[in-house]
Copies of this chain bind each other. A is one copy, B any other.
Amino acid sequence: VLAGIGDDAAILKPRPGRVILATTDLLAERIHFNLTFTSYRQLGYKAAMSNLSDIAAMGGAPRFLLIALALPPRETPRDVKAIYAGIRAACDPAGVAVVGGDTSASRTDLFLAVMVLGDAAPGAVLRRSGARAGDHLYVTGTLGDAKAGFELLQARKRTNAYLITRHLMPTARLKAARRLADGRLASAAIDVSDGLAGDIRHICEESGVGCLIDARTLPLSPQLLAHAQAHKRDPIAYALSGGEDYELLFTVPPAKVPRVDTLVRLQQLRATAIGVMTPSRQGLRLVGVDGAVGPLTAKGYEHRFG
């Protein structure tokens, strides 16, 4: 960064030979967040992290963050400071510089527009369109936690701090993304923001392939399993339709599967194999916990319950 906040634009020095990645999100109060549930610090943290995650999903390293806030009259300087503190808490460990900020007024709701710039080696960029039939499908971390945490917040039950934190303060999988990019291990990637069933659809559509996901292999946290059992819900449905996990969903060509599996065994990559990509005509399919194969829907086979 050559110059940050305080001029008409931030001045950034690109690293030679790298391509630039740019992403933006606009977060609206009462649509994307609810100030009854989130603190200003958590809000800033999550707004930054969801954009860092977009860069990670492209195989890139995030470098710079710009933020624009529209503040309703009730917001105090202290609230704004807390939002910035949250942004910095997400950015600092990732080596991301907060280079620009614009603050203006809003009539009723709070809005945050976040832009993140990153870079990547030209050959290491991960697109949604790179998956081929025969590629293996992996996902980092565990799925469905954020949705369960959101339910707890809505029910005013702060009984499970882990699940609530997974919703309010997600973690972008920057290390995993770097490992995949450095080793040129993945053929396609996306971050799980709409839920596994929705996001795998993006990869399938952009890549022109189908998929066969095995519900029995989906990574579920012990906390999610306990939550689902307590509420008599199907944990697989959380994993399939739960959004905002910000885990990386990625495909690996067969020749590179042994290398990825070795990284996983050595715990240098926290990921789980959950299926395989298929020819497009076979569509999107799910192997249920009973071993039966059916079409993949957002809810999985939740309808078989209750």
Across the interface, A25 reaches (CB within 8 A) one of B12, B19, B102, B190, namely B102
Across the interface, A115 reaches (CB within 8 A) one of B66, B127, B128, namely B66
Contact status A20-B12, CB under 8 Å = yes
Mark A220-251 against chain B: 1 for CB-CB distance below 8 A, else 0. Answer: 00000000000000000000000000000000
Q: Tell yes or no: A183 within 8 A of B by CB.
A: no
Interface residue range, chain A: 35 or more
Contact status A58-B115, CB under 8 Å = no
Cβ–Cβ < 8 Å partners of A122 in chain B: 13
Cβ–Cβ < 8 Å partners of A10 in chain B: 21-23
Segment from A105-113, A257-265, A277-285, A296-304 that makes contact with B: A105-113
What are 13 A-B contacts with C-beta separation under 8 Å? A7-B128, A8-B57, A8-B58, A8-B128, A9-B57, A12-B19, A12-B22, A22-B99, A23-B66, A24-B102, A26-B113, A108-B108, A111-B113
Residues of A within 8 A of B (CB): 2-3, 6-14, 16, 18-32, 54-55, 57-58, 60, 64, 66-70, 99-100, 102, 104-109, 111, 113, 115-118, 120, 122, 125, 127-129, 190-191, 206
Going nearest first, the 9 A-B pairs with the smallest beta carbon separation are A113-B113, A26-B68, A9-B23, A8-B54, A9-B21, A12-B20, A14-B14, A8-B57, A28-B70
